[in-house]
A and B are shown apart, each in its own frame.
Chain A
C-alpha cells in the first residue's frame, strides 16, 4: 500500500511545496499534462502524490483518505472541529504566511481594540436597528474568537472573496480576513484592531490521525520524515 500525500493543486502554494520537498531530496511533480491532478514522487518509495484544492485537504485528512497533507493552519482550524484529535502538525513549511485579522475603517478613530468594537457595535445596533456586520469566510474561527472576547451585537456575513471591498460597498461594517502584507487593507482604508489577531497561519505538513496505516506505510512515513526533517 502507498502513503497518500495531498498537496495544493495550483499556484504558488503548489510550487513552494514542490520546492520545499525538492530541497530535501524528495521530488514532487505533476504527471502528464498540467491539467492532470495526479503526480509522481521520486526520492522515497511508496508515496503517492494527490493534487487537490488546499481547502479540501483538511476534510480529506480528517476522513483518513489522505495520510499526509499540506495546507494552512487557518483552513484546518476553520474546517475541522476538534482538529487536534483528527490531525497532527508535523512540520511548518515556512511559507504561505497569513494572519487572520479583524479590521475596521481607518476613519473609525474611536475604535482600536475589541473593547471599542463591542461598544461601537452596541451603539451601531441602537442607531441602525441591526447588528454590526462583519464580512468573512472564516465563520467558526471568528465567532469563537469574538465569543471568547465577549463581543456582542455583531453579525457575520459571508464573503468568499474581495472581502476588503465589502465595507466600501456597504454590505459590511468590518471584516475578518487573511492578510499577508496589509497592503490590501491600507489600499481599502482599513486598519487592524490592536488585539484583532485571530490566528497566525502558515503552510504546514499534517498527518491524519484517522487514516489506517500498515507496517509498510509506517516504514514509508519514517523514511520520508528522515529525509525532510
Chain B
C-alpha cells in the first residue's frame, strides 16, 4: 500500500499534468451544504456520504466528489470556456464492504466548453488514458445519451417515456416499468377495482397530498390503462440497445442498424461516431476500445452523454481506478438559468500506485 505522502505526491503530479493541459487548479471546501446534494441525488446520497451538522448552517456533507462544487463554482462566476483541475480527499460512507476506503484522494480534470463537445470528450479521455499509462487497467466506454434518445423515441405515451427516463439510472426499476408498459406483468386486483370506479375514498384525507393530486394520478392511471401496450418490437429495440457490448467500430455499426428502426437515436449515434473520430485524432486506438451501451447506469445520476471508466485488470473487487463522463444537464440543474456543455473525469492516485507496484 502506498503511503499518504506518496499518494499526495502522485496527486500533485497528476494535477500538474492537467494544468499543462490548460486547467486552473481549484480547491472546493470539504464541507458542502447537504441540501444541494440531497436535491440532486435524493435520499440515496445519505448512504454514500457522511452527514454532519451545526446549529448555524444545518446539515452539511463531507464532499463525496468534486464535480458538484466545481460546477457550482463555475456556474456562479466562471468565464467561458474553462478548464479546472483539483486534488484532494473525498469521503464515502461504506455500509457493506469494509475493504472499500471511506476516504481517498481524487484528482480531476473538467472542461466547460461549448465549441466542440466531441473534441472535449476525446481530450478528457485521452489525457486520463495517458495518465493511466503503466497502470494495469482496461478502459470501457459508453453513452447514456443514446439510451435517453431511445426512450424519448419510443412510440408510446409521454407519461410512460417520462417514467422510464426517470429510472434510467435504476436498471431494475426500468426493467419493471418496461415489462408493465409492454403488458407483460399482472395488474393488481386493487388497480382493476380502482379503475372500474369501485373504490371510494372513505377515510379522512390526511397530510399535504391533496384530493386533486390523487384524482390526477387516477386519471393518469386510467389514461395509461387505455393506451395500447408498448409494442414487442419497441421493447426489443431497447433490449438490443442495452445489449450492445462490442469494440467501438462494431458497436457503432450495430447502433447504426438500430437507428434504422429507431431514427430518434440517429443524432446520439452520430455524436458517438464523431467522438470516435476525435478519439482517433487524440491517438486512441478505437478499434480495440470497448463500448458498452449499459455502462454507467448505476453510477450517481448526472452523466447524460459520454461515460468511461478504467477497471483494474485481474482485480474485479476494486472500484474504478479512473472514471468520468459528460454532464451537461447537471450544469443546467445547478446553473440557476445558465447551462454549458461539460465533461470531466477523476483518477485515484492511491489505487494507481498500488497497482503499479504490484508484482
Contacts and interface: CB of A to CB of B under 8 A. Distances in A.
Partners in one complex: yes
Given A109-B214, A110-B218, A118-B173, 6 more contacts: A105-B205, A106-B202, A110-B194, A140-B47, A170-B207, A173-B208
A106 B194 CA distance: 14
Contact of A109 (B42, B199, B206): B199
B191 interface: yes
B43 A105 contact: no
B43 A119 contact: no
A156 B38 CA distance: 11
Interface of A: 81-82, 105-110, 112-113, 115, 118-120, 122-124, 127-128, 131-132, 139-140, 143-144, 146-147, 149-150, 152-156, 167-168, 170, 172-173, 188-189, 194
A150 B217 contact: no
Given A122-B166, A194-B190, A173 B47 contact: no
A123 B217 contact: yes
Interface string B134-150: 00000000000000000
B95 A173 contact: no
B208 A123 contact: no
A147 B207 contact: no
Contacts of B44: 143, 147
B208 A113 contact: no
Interface in B166-220: 166-167, 170, 172-173, 176, 180, 188, 190-191, 194, 199-209, 213-214, 216-218, 220
A147 B98 CA distance: 20
Given A107-B214, A122-B166, A150-B167, A189 B43 contact: no
B1 interface: no
Contact of B208 (A128, A140, A154): A128
B96 A172 contact: no
Contact of B43 (A122, A127, A143, A168): A143
Contact of A152 (B170, B172, B188, B207): B170
B46 interface: yes
A110 B221 contact: yes
Interface of B: 38, 42-44, 46-47, 95-96, 98, 163, 166-167, 170, 172-173, 176, 180, 188, 190-191, 194, 199-209, 213-214, 216-218, 220-221
9 contacts: A82-B98, A112-B188, A119-B163, A150-B167, A152-B166, A152-B170, A168-B207, A173-B207, A173-B209
Contacts of A155: 38, 42-43
Given A115-B176, A150-B172, A189 B47 contact: no
B95 A81 contact: yes
Nearest to A113: B188
A105 B205 CA distance: 7
A147 to B, nearest CB: 6
Contacts of A123: 213, 216-217, 220
Nearest to A122: B166
A167 B208 CA distance: 8
A118 to B, nearest CB: 7
Contacts of A147: 44, 47
Contacts of A156: 43, 46
A139 B38 CA distance: 15
Contacts of B221: 110
Contacts of B201: 107, 109
Contacts of A82: 95-96, 98
A79 to B, nearest CB: 12
B192 to A, nearest CB: 11
B64 to A, nearest CB: 16
Contacts of A122: 163, 166
A172 B173 contact: no
Contacts of B163: 119, 122
Contacts of B220: 119, 123
B206 A189 contact: yes
A120 B42 contact: no
Contacts of B209: 105, 108, 120, 124, 132, 173
A184 to B, nearest CB: 14
A135 B2 CA distance: 44
A146 B42 CA distance: 12
A107 to B, nearest CB: 4
Contacts of A144: 47
B72 to A, nearest CB: 20
Contacts of B172: 150
B286 to A, nearest CB: 34
A82 B47 CA distance: 14
A17 to B, nearest CB: 30
Question: Which of B167, B173, B191, B194 is most buried by chain A, counting CB atoms within 10 A of its CB?
Answer: B173
Contacts of B207: 105, 167-168, 170, 172-173
